[in-house]
Chains A and B, each alone.
Chain A
Amino acid sequence: MANTQAMATSFKGELLNAYHNFSATNPARTINTADTFKAALYLATATYNATTTAYAATGEVSGTGYTAGGVNVGTWNAPTTSGTTGFTTPTASITYTTVTLTTAFDAVLIYNNSQTNRAVSVHTFGSQTVTAGTFTLTMPTNNSTSALIRLA
């Protein structure tokens, strides 16, 4: 059992049903407030992957300074396209400040807190622990080849 990096398959269908709004300005609709996305950390023993449909507490890390459900992702770069690829990335790092997480974790689930916690994507990294410290996830460059979320 392990976490696997993937875009949630359910997310792809939900895009077609306009569940997710990453942009504060949505020219196609009168919704000018972006949804709130959150980032939850998961233990290396958990099993989050493309079949994940929503945030769940099962397998989530726990420890001093960490709140179940994780932290807000913040704003996203306005979704755009280049060539045949659409993409977006959070505008800032995701940071868990002064936490103690002593059981190894290796994945973060991005999910839409405004839409009943529907899953967006799972991102994996080398297994880590944190002791009275800060865990920071720095985002890749927001372009058509590196952005965190890409559709092509």
Chain B
Amino acid sequence: MAMVVTTKGEMDESLLEKKEGTVDNDHEITRWTEYWHEGELVHRSVHVHLKKNVFAAGVAAMIA
């Protein structure tokens, strides 16, 4: 039986309602997993894959 870390301690996954979602856009791919117990959110994990970087352009000036 899979155990899940929750706000109420470790709980058997079979006792929980699992919800999952994904966001995929130009900026990131995000996957989240939630576990609910009796209408209460007891676990939420998020995995973000960064697609965009930061960039600096270099310029070599002309020596006049």
Measured CB to CB, the residues of A under 8 A from B are: 5-7, 12, 87, 89, 98, 100, 121-126, 128-140, 146-152
Contact = CB atoms under 8 A, between A and B. Distances in A.
Given A148-B50, A152-B57, 8 more contacts: A89-B53, A125-B27, A126-B48, A130-B45, A131-B7, A133-B5, A140-B52, A147-B53
B20 interface: no
Given A132-B6, A133-B5, A138 B45 contact: no
Interface string B14-50: 0000000001000110101110000001111111111
Nearest to A136: B47
Q: Is the interface of B mostly helix, strand, loop or mixed?
A: strand
Contacts of B46: 128, 130, 133-136
Contacts of B51: 140, 146
A125 B28 contact: yes
In this complex, the interface size class of chain B, counting residues with CB under 8 Å from chain A, is 20 to 34
B50 A125 contact: yes
B42 to A, nearest CB: 7
B52 A5 contact: yes
Q: Is the interface of A mostly helix, strand, loop or mixed?
A: strand
A147 B49 CA distance: 12
Given A5-B52, A123-B50, A151 B58 contact: yes
17 contacts: A89-B53, A125-B27, A126-B27, A126-B30, A129-B44, A130-B45, A131-B43, A132-B6, A133-B43, A133-B45, A137-B50, A140-B51, A147-B53, A148-B53, A148-B54, A150-B55, A151-B58
